[in-house]
Chains A and B, each alone.
Chain A
Amino acid sequence: MTAKILTHAVSRPPTPRVAWRRINPTIVIFLVLLAAICWISPLYRTAPGLMSLLQRASPVIILSAGQTFVLVTGGFDLSVGSLITLVVVACALITGGDGSLTWIALLAAYGIGLTVGLINGAIVAWGKVPSIITTLGMLLSVKGVAMLWSGGAPEGYLPVNLRYFGRYVWRHVPLIQRLPVAVVVLVGSLAVLVWLFHFTNFGRLLLMIGDNPRAAELSGVPVRRQRMLAFVISALAAVTAGILLGGFSGVSVDVGTGYELEATSAAVIGGVVLLGGEGSMTGAIFGGLTLYALFTLLNLIGFPEPLRVAVQGLILVAAAALTARRSGTRQ
């Protein structure tokens, strides 16, 4: 008992600073950015404006929440960008613009995601190839499949009822006036992901694996199966994001390019510790929101579009450095 109190006192001095330090700083940063956006543009002071911001941010938020499952186990999933591309291309090619085939296309898309996730997970868990190599290799291969299938230049378009998820907005909704379908998809997906991550043993064990895989294994955790399922969840989240993105944008082989880094950046901004063991869905979600709010703000002040990537890079490094300082470990 005494020893326990002692270690507690040593490891975490009970200073008043501790209380506010536990608040995720990302939430504060997001609110500041949001205030700046509202100050500059009156459009965002209305409920429909905020809803459209949320609508366009939803793919990144879903991606970063899914990516977090892999990140907390200490891995990476860099194949999600290519997977988004493949999903959009597959939907376009399967339906050929015919709305009656939408359900088949959606099923096929989730089937593709499941396959890619299982392959990623199996190679990392049983082949013991580090996930950075595995998923970078899959990034090439999955993009290659999309290119091969579409002959390099996909034609056709997504039928209206498939674009519904990303695009459509319900009007005359009480209180908020307009409710984009994408926001409903976002809330639904997040409900599932938050439940899995914070309210099931599956999620808790993922954190344990990220902290110390050997200890987890010795205490009977099926480390390999857990790891594989984490990749499956990340891939299925990517499919969902891909379906939303297909609604926003056209069909091309570049739809998903760069999203893997946006998702990772968002999670890192939200304080998910790379190399595993620490992270929360709140962090991932607000990381995604913060990244998107920042892009919106840069857009509003007329910041040159190409330099956005450079800012993203700086923020990624800064957020990782800040987390390293906060947690006192190597981030």
Chain B
Amino acid sequence: MSGITLSTRRFRPQGLLPAALIVGAALTYAVVSLATAQSAQLSWAGIAGLLQRMVALGITACGQTLVLLVGSIDLSVANLISVSAVIAAHVMNGRPDAIALGIAAAIAIGVIVGLANGLIVSKLKVSPLIATLGIGLVLQGVLSAAYDDLPGSVPASFRVLAYGHVLGIPLALLLLAAVVALAGFVLSRTVIGFRLYGVGGDARTARLAGIRTDRFVIGAHIAASVTAAVSGLYLASWLGAGTPWVGRDGGYDLDSVAVVVIGGTLLSGGRGGVAGTIAGVFVFATIDAVFNMLQIDPFLGQILRGLIVISSVAAYTFRGKAHVA
């Protein structure tokens, strides 16, 4: 469907896919925890722990969803998460009065990186894979060159973000919910969202319909980088310090793309949404939890994870008639 008609229609829901993914993953989790006699995993604390594992990946994946929807991709998020965590911890340096400044610094870095990614992709016409890989390498290089001089820890009051509760609900989950709700609202209820789908579905048609496609590509990249920066802030709060390898070790670049695709968003853009993405994140969190409960060797777990990513994407794609590269 072209962007012109899309803007007058209601958002096309993703159907039952997200619900099916969540129910399937939740059932597996429940069965495994009962079968291995670890019913503590089914208590509120256990489930909250499971959900908490979704936060960092979930926030990043929301931004990644927007980028994939406009037909681009962002592989710089992992390194950006590390940069954000390190910058925040460096600026805060244990002082509670510098929290706001630290948050602002991390978000500002996110905006700058997103702007750079978006401009390179839309104005210089560089393939988004190469552009964001390149920017990711730049971030990684600068970080590893500078991290000896960037110690620092976050003040105790900032760690509330990761460990605090509001009415029994972890604060981090509320943060995730807010990001998901915001992305979902923009995509399904605003003109910006409709046009975003239009740009991803067929950039040429969208341009002919008078949409400034470049702005949407740049905007989506900024959104993705800012969500990655927020993830970095959360991880700094969770770990108490900005570790320069937190993003890459977490594998957030592949994982964020994988969960979005598992959630039914097309890698080529134009179709999908955050509901599927969050279902994909839930699937990943339960995979980790199930591997843990079954006490699978972590290296074997890594092998299985790679295969699960490939086979779950194949489940969508293998029926297609067109060739992919």
Q: Do A and B come from one complex?
A: yes
Closest A residue, CB atoms, query B135: A313
A141 adjacent to chain B (CB < 8 Å)? yes
Within the complex, what minimum Cβ distance (angstroms) separates B124 from chain A? 4
Closest A residue, CB atoms, query B142: A310
Count, A-B residue pairs, CB within 8 A: 176
Q: A141-B302, A317-B120, A330-B125 are in contact. Are A306 and B145 (CB under 8 A)?
A: yes
Kindly specify which of A33-41, A45-53, A142-150 makes contact with the partner chain.
Answer: A142-150
A288 adjacent to chain B (CB < 8 Å)? no
Q: A147-B299, A307-B141 are in contact. Are A127 and B126 (CB under 8 A)?
A: no
A274 adjacent to chain B (CB < 8 Å)? yes
Interface string of B307-325 (1 = CB under 8 A from A): 1011001100110101111
Closest B residue, CB atoms, query A253: B299
Q: A324-B125, A330-B125 are in contact. Are A130 and B302 (CB under 8 A)?
A: no
Chain A residues within an 8 Å CB radius of B144? 306, 309
Chain B residues within an 8 Å CB radius of A155? none
Whether A148 pairs with B300 at a CB distance below 8 angstroms is yes
Chain B residues within an 8 Å CB radius of A227? 323, 325
Chain A residues within an 8 Å CB radius of B304? 144
Looking at chain B's contact residues, the main secondary structure is helix
Whether A310 pairs with B306 at a CB distance below 8 angstroms is no
Closest A residue, CB atoms, query B305: A140
Chain B residues within an 8 Å CB radius of A75? 325
Whether A148 pairs with B297 at a CB distance below 8 angstroms is yes
Kindly specify which of B6-14, B50-58, B225-233, B250-258 makes contact with the partner chain.
Answer: B250-258
Chain B residues within an 8 Å CB radius of A139? 254, 306
Within the complex, what minimum Cβ distance (angstroms) separates B100 from chain A? 29
A188 to B56, CA, bound (A): 48
Q: A134-B310, A331-B127 are in contact. Are A316 and B137 (CB under 8 A)?
A: yes
Within the complex, what minimum Cβ distance (angstroms) separates B142 from chain A? 5
Q: A261-B137, A274-B127, A313-B133 are in contact. Are A133 and B313 (CB under 8 A)?
A: yes
Binding site for A on B (CB under 8 A): 73, 120, 124-127, 129-131, 133-142, 144-145, 251, 254, 257-258, 261, 267, 297, 299-307, 309-310, 313-314, 317-318, 320, 322-325
The 10 closest A-B pairs by CB, nearest first: A310-B141, A313-B137, A74-B325, A141-B306, A140-B306, A144-B302, A309-B141, A144-B303, A317-B134, A313-B138
Q: List 30 A-B contacts (CB under 8 A).
A: A76-B129, A128-B324, A130-B324, A131-B325, A132-B73, A132-B267, A133-B257, A133-B258, A133-B261, A133-B309, A139-B306, A140-B305, A140-B306, A141-B306, A141-B307, A145-B303, A148-B303, A213-B322, A261-B137, A274-B129, A306-B144, A307-B141, A313-B134, A313-B135, A320-B126, A324-B124, A329-B125, A330-B125, A331-B125, A331-B127
Q: A127-B310, A127-B318, A141-B302 are in contact. List 4 more A-B contacts (CB 8 A).
A: A128-B322, A137-B306, A312-B137, A316-B133
